[in-house]
Amino acid sequence: MLDYFIRRLLGAIPTIFIIIFISFFLIRLAPGGPFDFDRSLAPEIQANLNAKYHLDEPVYVQFGYYLKDIVRGDFGPSFQYKNYTVTELIVQGFPVSMQLGLSAIILALLLGCSAGIFAAYKQNSRFDYLVMAISMTGISIPNFVMAPLLILLFAIALSIFPAGGWNDGAFQNQVLPIITLALPQIAYIARITRGSMIEVLRTSYIRTAFSKGLPTVYILTRHALKPTLLPVISYLGPAIAGLITGSVVVEQIYGIPGLGRYFVQGALNRDYTLVMGVAVFYGMLIIVLNLLVDILYGWLDPQIRIRSKQA
Partner 1 sequence: MNSQGLFASPRQQVWERLKGNRAAMIAVAIILFLVVSAIIGPWLSPFSAEVIDYEAIASEPSFTSGHVFGTDSLGRDIFVRTLEGSRISLAIGLVATLVSLLIGVNYGAIAGYFGGRIDAVMMRIVDILYAMPFMFFVILLMVFFGRNIFLIFIAIGAINWLDIARIVRGQTLAIKQQAYVEAARIYGAGHWKIIRKHIVPNLLGIVVVYITLTIPQVILVESFLSFLGLGIQEPMTSLGALVSEGANEMETHSWMLIFPAIFLAVILFCFNFIGDGLRDALDTKQTEKQAS
Q: Which residues are at the interface with partner 1 (CB under 8 A)?
A: 12, 14-15, 18-19, 22-23, 26-27, 29-32, 136-137, 139-142, 144-145, 147-149, 151-152, 156, 241, 244-245, 248-249, 252-253, 263-264, 267-268, 270, 275, 278-279, 282-283, 286-287, 290
Query: Least distance (Å) from partner 1 to the CB of residue 185?
Result: 15
CB burial of residue 301 (10 Å; 0-12, 13-18, 19+):
middle
Q: Which amino acid is at 211?
A: S
Nearest-angstrom CA–CA distance, 226 and 197? 10
Query: Least distance (Å) from partner 1 to the CB of residue 123?
Result: 16
CA distances from 71 to 13, 19, 68, 135, 268 (A): 12, 14, 5, 43, 27
CB burial of residue 16 (10 Å; 0-12, 13-18, 19+):
middle
Q: Is 85 helix (H, G, I), strand (E, B) or coil?
A: strand
Longest dimension (CA), the chain: 87
Q: Which amino acid is at 47?
A: A
Q: Return the number of the residue (129 or 218) whose C-beta is nearest partner 1.
A: 129
For 8-13, which contacts have Cβ atoms below 8 Å and span 24 or more sequence positions? 8/291, 8/294, 9/291, 12/287, 12/288, 12/291
Q: Return the number of the residue (214 or 295) whose C-beta is nearest partner 1.
A: 295
Q: Return the number of the residue (107 or 132) whose C-beta is nearest partner 1.
A: 132
Q: Return the number of the residue (239 or 279) whose C-beta is nearest partner 1.
A: 279
Q: Return the number of the residue (82 or 202) whose C-beta is nearest partner 1.
A: 202
Q: Return the number of the residue (200 or 220) whose C-beta is nearest partner 1.
A: 200
Q: Return the number of the residue (228 or 290) whose C-beta is nearest partner 1.
A: 290
Nearest-angstrom CA–CA distance, 289 and 287? 6
Do the Cβ atoms of 41 and 35 come closer than 8 Å? yes
Nearest-angstrom CA–CA distance, 13 and 23? 16
Nearest-angstrom CA–CA distance, 24 and 2? 33
Number of residues that this document lists for the chain: 311
Going by C-beta distance under 8 Å and a sequence separation of 6 or more, which residues neighbour residue 81? 89, 271, 274
Query: Least distance (Å) from partner 1 to the CB of residue 286?
Result: 6
Q: Which amino acid is at 106?
A: I
